[in-house]
Chain A
Amino acid sequence: EAQVTQNPRYLITVTGKKLTVTCSQNMNHEYMSWYRQDPGLGLRQIYYSMNVEVTDKGDVPEGYKVSRKEKRNFPLILESPSPNQTSLYFCASRDFSSYEQYFGPGTRLTVT
């Protein structure tokens, strides 16, 4: 089954404690991206990657890092989380020439 998986689904952490949210897709998609979803703001892109070792900033990259060492994986790293990063996070992937994105189930992060 074609899918995008994220882990963990729920995470409660404290300010400053480094964390990683994993994302993996099994569709051999070149393009992957991370979004955060906040009420009234819709989805905003954090980072994206057009292929292995090719990443770039989206609209709200501050406080986040990513890496793309393998085509299927695109982890999101918060080196020093802060309460304003409390949000719902989605990973998405698509074929490079396509417009249809496939989204993971989401990770709800709370930073206290």
Chain B
Amino acid sequence: AQSVAQPEDQVNVAEGNPLTVKCTYSVSGNPYLFWYVQYPNRGLQFLLKYITGDNLVKGSYGFEAEFNKSQTSFHLKKPSALVSDSALYFCAVRDTISGGYNKLIFGAGTRLAVHP
């Protein structure tokens, strides 16, 4: 079955430190991978995507993600965390089996808390 796993419910990091939010996936065929962020009382916002090409993808707000095919992972990273990065982060993968053209399968989300 196709799925996305975000193994950590919450990640705590001090401001200025590097952060990593983990994501692993299971999908048939080539994975199309995405990260979205949800700030309090807001809808999800697109951060970045991997379709093909360079395994290191750069996105909005200084975030980047590394695609690792052998480990089926797509971890979100940032070299220096800001308090304003505190939010709920969702990893998603394109569904390649069901209908719903380009439907996304979302992980359960990881809450990032950046402390001053």
Contacts and interface: CB of A to CB of B under 8 A. Distances in A.
Interface of A: 4, 31, 33, 35, 40-45, 48, 50, 56, 58, 90, 92, 94, 96, 99-106
Contacts of B109: 42
A58 B51 CA distance: 23
Contacts of B43: 4, 90, 92, 103-106
Contacts of B84: none
A39 to B, nearest CB: 8
Interface string B3-42: 0100001000000000000000000000010101000011
A56 B108 contact: no
SS of B interface (majority): loop
A27 to B, nearest CB: 13
B107 A48 contact: no
A90 B44 contact: yes
Contacts of B108: 40-42
Interface residues of B, number: 25
A105 B4 CA distance: 24
8 contacts: A4-B43, A42-B90, A43-B44, A45-B104, A48-B100, A92-B44, A101-B104, A106-B42
Nearest to B107: A42
Contacts of B102: 31, 94, 99
Contacts of B42: 105-106
Given A35-B106, A56-B100, 15 more contacts: A33-B100, A42-B90, A43-B90, A45-B103, A45-B104, A58-B100, A58-B103, A92-B44, A100-B46, A100-B49, A101-B36, A101-B44, A103-B36, A105-B42, A106-B43
A40 B108 CA distance: 5
